[in-house]
Amino acid sequence: MDTNGHDEMKKAWQDLTTTLSARFGETPDLQAILFLVGVQELGQGYRSFSKSEKEDLIHIAICRLLSTYGYYEFQTRDADGWPHWKLKVKLPHLTLADQTTLLKRAVVEYFEKEMP
């Protein structure tokens, strides 16, 4: 990625975290934002979630976000309303930094599209 694109991405991420910080009272990290996306995609509103459910919500968020790039495909919702995704294309081997960048980019795009 060119430097300008990287700088734009950093600014977009900072703008998003600033907006969320103003709304929730503290600056969320990537995990917290993935949790929020998962809750949004579950569509049942916020409630108390078990540790296992929180992990599932983050998984839902990752699948939803990476579906934008063709890695996952939505399959169905189960009887409890939880969405299920299918891996379409094997994810490339990425460094942790590259994984983080990919997810942050997907999060920014998600919020721009789904919550303008």
Extract the tokens encoding 57. 């919500």
Per-residue b or e along 42-68, where b marks 16 or more CB atoms closer than 10 Å to that residue's CB: beeeeeebeeeeeebbbebbbbbbbbe
User: Is the pTM higher than 0.85?
Assistant: yes
Tens digit of pLDDT per residue, the chain (116 long)? 455 677 888 999 999 999 999 988 999 999 999 999 999 999 998 889 999 999 999 999 999 999 999 999 999 999 999 999 999 999 999 999 999 999 999 999 999 998 76
Domain ranges within the chain, ordered by starting residue: 28-114
Extract the tokens encoding 45. 């509103």
Nearest Cα to Cα of residue 106 among 59, 68, 53, 74: 68
Extract the tokens encoding 8. 């734009």
